Amino acid sequence: MSYIGAIDQGTTSTRFMIFDETGSVISSAQMEHTQFLPQAGWVEHDPLEILRATDAVIKEALSTAGLVGRDLSAIGITNQRETTVAWNASTGVPLGKAIVWQDTRSQSILDAINPEIGAEITFKTGLPLAPYFSASKMSWMLQNSPIVRSAQEQQELKFGTVDSWLVWNLSEGNIHVTDVSNASRTLLMNLETLQWDKQLLDSFGVPREALATIKSSSEIYGYTAIDSVFGARIPIAGIVGDQHAALLGQLCFDKGESKTTYGTGNFALINTGSEIIRSKKGLLTTLAFKLGDEPAKYALEGSVAVTGSAVQWLRDQLGIIEKSADIEPLAASVPDSGGVYFVPAFSGLFAPYWRGDARGVIVGLTRAATKAHIARATLEAVCYQTLDVIRAMEEETGTTIKILRVDGGITQNQLCMQLQADILQTEVSRPIVAETTALGAAYAAGLAVGVWKSKSELLTQWKESHHWHPTISGEVAATGLANWKKAIERTLNWV
């Protein structure tokens, strides 16, 4: 039996999962890490805490499975994407906290870019000028951190998304790579050439020598160091940004196939094959994945900044629930949201609006409103935001998504998925392995080392766990959508 390990380094936690050659989960371990919020609009992570968590979950998962590092045929990595780390190449020490994808501090850098140059950047990258992406975060570090500037002057600066940071450390500084999916989220990679683009680098003042080498999503990049947590030289053979990995995990290899992942944020992707569709509906044009020497596959993506993290907000900031799982029984204790609508625009609004100045609102409150109504409105917000991006995606591609393939932690919430089917008026399907980000990374690594010989071999592994059908009428759904649009207007005009 062959085993593949997958590091799934997410926004709020790090997970290590071990899969066998049938795609079944052998063991899993997960650990949360700290969210640093030093001021409004700033979100940070500690890169060293992420490394410690990665080591801990690898040890735990291996122990649970009764395996050791050398039992693994390969390692795959999937990661929160745009989050950016700077470190010293000589010492390996991070040069401050990682700036998280939700962070908006670099908006002023983007505002200063000439509109004509901005249009060229968007054309080359498929991305709007938003602080969501990595380039302006790197610019901010170079402009505001003396130790980052000093490392650049001494030619010791390394920038990377979290995948690069993990590979650097697993290989003890011998490998500085990223894959096309992560590179496509930086505002620095040209979608057509799949390389760092000089004009883009110059626009943001980012030195090319600080960046990782761009590779495919599935190949042997190198090996873990013997002194690493694995205690052996294991091929590092798959790197895929989390949402792209979920597309792989859902086996959406072909044009027109799509998935929606529910995590800290919410992300819908549709495979557009070899075609680069430049969005006019507020979606992102992105690299889906590139498997070895095969041609790259592209995608359209609808990104929602806050979904699962809205549940965490109820838990951590408002204290409405003690643990995230408590939201389902609380929300189910009332038949509807009582006219309450919640738009959790904590980091502005992403697709299809792209308004960094938007702020969260709760509207429709009356004296009769309770925490249960707010909890239900939070789950509905997850679903309405998903509806916004799915409708834009359908218009952009001229297709109708008849069954929504879903994955991610929130899909275990039965009420939320039923609300999704009702609000979208579309059937919803969840696979047996709901954590498809890790599975996609395992597939990428396993294909690279021959655990799976072909994509067609993998297609036999997808199995459905649960299916939801709409239970309300189209008229009722339309009324709710109209009220959601009113809440969105309040959000956009909060000032």
Bigger pLDDT: 163 vs 400:
163
Across residues 405-425, what is the average pLDDT?
93
Bigger pLDDT: 435 vs 322:
322
Under 8 Å between Cβ of 265 and 309: yes
Nearest to 212 by CA among 134, 154, 290, 285: 134
d(CA 3, CA 286): 30
Across residues 444-470, what is the average pLDDT?
93
Report the amino acid identity of residue 437.
T
The mean pLDDT of the chain is: 94
Virtual torsion, Cα 184, 187, 192, 198, nearest 10 deg = -130
d(CA 41, CA 39): 6
Report the amino acid identity of residue 35.
Q
Report the amino acid identity of residue 44.
E
d(CA 434, CA 246): 9
Angle between helices 162-170 and 47-65 (to 10 degrees): 60
pLDDT(48) > 90: yes
Res. 495 pLDDT band, cuts 50 70 90: low
- In this structure, of 74-83, 105-114, 453-462, the range with the lowest mean pLDDT score is 453-462
What does the pLDDT look like over 343-372, one tens digit per residue? 999 878 887 887 878 899 999 999 999 999
d(CA 64, CA 26): 9
Across residues 228-243, what is the average pLDDT?
95
In this structure, how many other beta carbons lie within 10 angstroms of the beta carbon of residue 275? Answer: 11
Across residues 296-318, what is the average pLDDT?
91
- 487-491 contacts at long range (C-beta below 8 A, 24 or more positions apart): 487/341, 487/342, 487/343, 487/361, 487/363, 487/364, 488/343, 488/349, 488/353, 490/343, 490/361, 490/363, 491/343, 491/345, 491/349, 491/358, 491/359, 491/360, 491/361
Under 8 Å between Cβ of 183 and 189: yes
Domains of the chain: 3-251 (3.30.420.40)
